[in-house]
Every structure is written in structure tokens, then in C-alpha cells.
Amino acid sequence: MIGKMTDSALQGIQRSTQGMARSAAEIARASKPGDQTNMTRAMVELKQHEHAAKANIKTLQAADTLLGSLLDVKA
């Protein structure tokens, strides 16, 4: 159970990191006045990826805490 939780969190962090890289690249390319809509969308997506990464980090921390509690009980 903890392994699945950890794997899921790590995959989520990886997806978020990839999404942030895509959004950042799109923001960097948006230099023309007509690209402002694309840049705004990319900035919103960048923020969404940030929140998703933070949520996955909290999941990873919870799994770590749970594992530590289980080890304390077994000891």
C-alpha cells in the first residue's frame, strides 16, 4: 500500500515537472502581441502544475510518515 502511494506520488511529481517545463517553454516563446492569449493560458497551466506537484509532495510526505509510524510500531 505504501509502495503504491509512493509510486503514484513520484509519477505525479514527474508529470507536473514535465508540464511545468512545457508551460515555461511556451511562455518563453510567446513574444508576439498575438501570443498573449497563449502566454496567459500557459501561465495558468504552470500554476496548476505547481499545485499538482505540491499535492504530490504532500502525498509522498504522508507515505513517509506512515512508513515511519509502522516501523516504530514494529520496533
pLDDT per position as a tens digit, 10-68? 999 999 999 999 999 988 888 777 767 788 899 999 999 999 999 999 999 999 888 87
Q: Is residue 74's pLDDT more than 70?
A: no
Question: For residue 75, with 0-12 CB atoms within 10 Å meaning exposed, 13-18 middle and 19 or more buried, which class applies?
Answer: exposed
The reported pTM is: 0.79
Structural domains in the chain (count): 1
Q: Is residue 3's pLDDT more than 70?
A: yes
pLDDT at 46: 97
Domain extent, residue 24, equals 2-74
CA dihedral 34, 38, 41, 46 (to 10 degrees): -130
